[in-house]
Structure 1
Amino acid sequence: MDKNLIFSPIVFAIIHFSVNIIHYPQKPNKQLLVCGDTKVLLVDYKDEKDSIPNIVWSWDSHEAMDLPEAFRLKKFNTMDDCKAIRKGEQILVSSSGGAIAIIRRKDKKVLFHAAVPNAHSIELLPGDLIAAAASTHKEGNRIMLFDSHQPDKPLFSDTLYSAHGVVWDDKRKSLFALGMSVLREYKLVKTGQPSLKKVNEWNIPGKSGHDLQPAPDGNHLFLTEMTGTWSFDLNGHTFTKIPGFTEAHDTKSVGLDKSGQFIYTVPEKSWWTYHVRFQHPTHALSFPTMQVYKARWFSEQ
């Protein structure tokens, strides 16, 4: 036998160990969505000191030739919310310029768009329905409901002053909506033309409700207002400060991933910022040429 084919136990162990290292699955990078100006960005996040974002996907409304000109050049000039849906294959976007849309990520095709006065948030509901928050505007101050197969044709609306946030809770089959001074719970009515029925309302602490996001545990909502950030217990219907989060005045968006890391945005000039910030661990990503409004953890669930 060729002596070169004879392996000692030590050599075999080293080779076996090396193979295991080569094939050991690596933990995937976290990603986040960032929106502002006319853009929505998908960014890879790494736990390092580098503040330069690694942008892996982007959508710019000015380049979306499948949008009507008024939407493309005006209504989407101030992007203010962005959420991943359908396992990350589509992105919900809203703009205070007066519009909402659904973008297919693989080819950037606009699947749905609608005019919403001073739109500040958007959410997907069962049955391919879309809820939107229309903030302060002579034709706004309301929650609007759309069928995603019928662009720009609202099915229903309900008055809510300074509407700023909408979140669907699939566990409770409820839509939660945040206004200037109240948090509401709606149920979806499917008989006849779809609509929403208000079933609960709570006065929020502080003033000027702004961001509304689900917490990872499925039993709380995070909300922000001008003076602080809060956690709302969906079972006990009580407000407490968000545990572990160092709040900042006028926080525009806040979220938490399953690892326990917060993502948030705080204005540096007027209503916008040039940074997306993180806690636990602390980090910041810089966007010096973009007026960033909100940032969200990206999920493919």
Structure 2
Amino acid sequence: MKRRSLLKGAAIGAPAALLLGTGTAHAAAFSVAATEQVQNKVLMWDKDAAFTDANVQWSWTPGAGGWYNLSDIRFRNTAAFGEVALVAASGGNVGIVDKTTEQHQELNDVLWTGAPGGNPHAIERIPDIGAIVSASSEGFLAVYGPTAISDPSTLARVQTVTLAGAHGVLWDPSLRHLWAVGDKTLRAYNVTGTYRNTRLVYANKSVALPGLGHDLQPDYTDPGKLLVTDTYGVYRIDTATLTRTTVVTEGSVKSWVRHASGEDVSVKADGVGSRTWGSPTVRLSVAADKTRSGAEFYKARIYTTAFE
């Protein structure tokens, strides 16, 4: 495998967080969850521990079918089930996992499965109404509405929204927008209605991107900022002014998120191996990068249920 190095700032070596005026990143304790496509598992570790089997804090294994090539993982709180994991797979499925105290969970812990089609890349849950939105790279967002918020099995597809190159979605509780990233654009949507009448309505807010948008995550140092990756780099978006600042200029960044401490967690495709779009390494801007031999990580997330 090629060795990738994390761009931690400009040529002088300043961390990206400092360059963007968010203060100097510092060491902090947190866990990282990642979609690993060779074993086809979601795996979570303490970010300071070696990414070995012995150190796995939590895992989810979906099995075969439409669950192959896991593409997204995030965690959310619910009134009915407590913490859940939201998962998407390029094989065709998206779903909600009842995250329990069990260390290694499987398909029987799934509360709901949807099949939006079109290579699903991301999934989000809208709080209070229990709706689910997924992004499929073939060009659309799929909206699912329930008949009972406390019963995910009642979710059914109620809307399809065209968005070329749709790759990422994220709920913004401050502005009450659903942000979605696609080809050369980041867009904001209002969520109207409830239950099966849930709909996305374009909020007439957008930010132009140089290339095909890929990942969309919070900057946990500032609730008014988002982090977006595209073909050419990583950008920090101010949701109030709709302005874009470049974090780093580098291609093939599949995921990027910033912890409240200022530490960045990212995955950059290395172009080799069984999945050229993945990498065996999760990059960390403060702690040492973590490499798992034979793995193909696609996205890495900070373990938190927070939206921002």
Structure 2 counterparts to residues 154-169 of structure 1, below 5 A: 154-169=157-172
**What SS class does the counterpart of residue 171 from structure 1 fall into?**
coil
Supply the distance in 1 between the matched residues of 2:36 and 2:165 (Cα, whole angstroms). 20
8 Å contact 2:232–2:249 — kept in the other structure?
A: no
- Pair 1:102 & 2:103 matched: no
3-state SS in 2 of match to 1:264: strand
Classify the secondary structure of the residue corresponding to 2:57.
Answer: strand
CA contact (8 A) 1:113 1:151 kept: no
- Tell me if the contact between 1:122 and 1:166 (Cα under 8 Å) persists in the aligned partners: yes
Deviation of residue 289 (structure 1)?
2.9
Matched, 1:259 2:261: yes
Structure 1 residue aligned with 2:278: 272
CA shift, 1:203, in A, is: 4.7
1:144 alignment partner in structure 2: 142
Q: In the alignment, what sits opposite 1:190?
A: 193
Q: CA deviation at 1:205?
A: 2.7
Deviations, residues 252-279 of structure 1 (Å, cap 9, x unaligned) = 0000111111000001122010010110
* Aligned counterparts of 1:150 and 1:204: Cα–Cα separation in 2: 37
CA offset at residue 290 of structure 1?
A: 2.3
Partners of 1:210 and 1:176 in 2: how far apart? 13
The match for 1:93 among 65, 70, 87 is 87
- For 1:284, the aligned partner's letter is D
Unaligned 5+ segments in structure 2 are 1-26, 147-151
Deviation at 1:41, TM superposition (A): 0.9
2-side partners of 1:52 and 1:75: how far apart? 27
CA distance in 2, matches of 1:58, 1:283: 22
Give the aligned residue type for 1:256.
R
| C-alpha displacement of 1:214 | 1.4
Comparing 198-207 with 172-181, which one deviates more in the overlay?
A: 198-207
Change (3 A) 1:158 1:83: same
Letter in 1 for 2:172: D
2:230–2:253 contact (8 Å) kept in structure 1: yes
Candidates 285, 291, 294, aligned match of 2:296? 291
Q: Please give the per-residue CA displacement for 1:95-153, whole angstroms capped at 9, x wherever unaligned.
A: 111110111121531011100221000011021111110112xxxx1111113624672
Paired with 2:135 and 2:154, the residues of 1 have a C-alpha distance of: 16
- Superposition map of 1:16-165 within 5 A: 29-37=29-37, 38-46=40-48, 50=50, 52=52, 54-62=55-63, 73-86=64-77, 89-106=83-100, 107=102, 108=105, 109-117=109-117, 118-126=119-127, 127-136=129-138, 141-147=139-145, 149-150=152-153, 153-165=156-168
CA distance in 2 between partners of 1:207 and 1:156 (Å): 27
Q: Which has the larger radius of gyration?
A: 1
Does the Cα contact within 8 Å between 2:126 and 2:132 map onto a contact in 1?
yes
Distance, in Å, in 2 between the alignment partners of 1:251 and 1:151 is 36
Distance 1:30 1:111 in 2: 27
1: CA distance, partners of 2:227 / 2:264:
11
- Report the 3-state secondary structure (helix = DSSP H, G, I; strand = E; otherwise coil) of the residue aligned with 2:65: helix
Number of the residue aligned with 1:3: none
d(CA) in 1 for partners of 2:280, 2:227: 23
User: For the aligned residues, what is the CA RMSD?
Assistant: 2.2
CA distance, structure 2, for counterparts of residue 90 and residue 158 of structure 1: 25
> 1:151, 1:34 → 2: CA distance?
28
2:212 maps to what in 1? 208
Superposed displacement of residue 162, structure 1: 1.1
Greater share of helix: 1
| Residues in 1 aligned to 2:169 and 2:305: alpha-carbon distance in whole angstroms | 20
* Count of residues paired in the alignment: 255
SS in 2 for 1:75: helix
Q: What's 1:219 paired with?
A: 224
Amino acid at match of 2:231: M
Partner Cα separation in structure 1 for residue 28 and residue 289 of structure 2: 20
How many angstroms apart in 1 are the aligned matches of 2:287 and 2:210?
A: 26
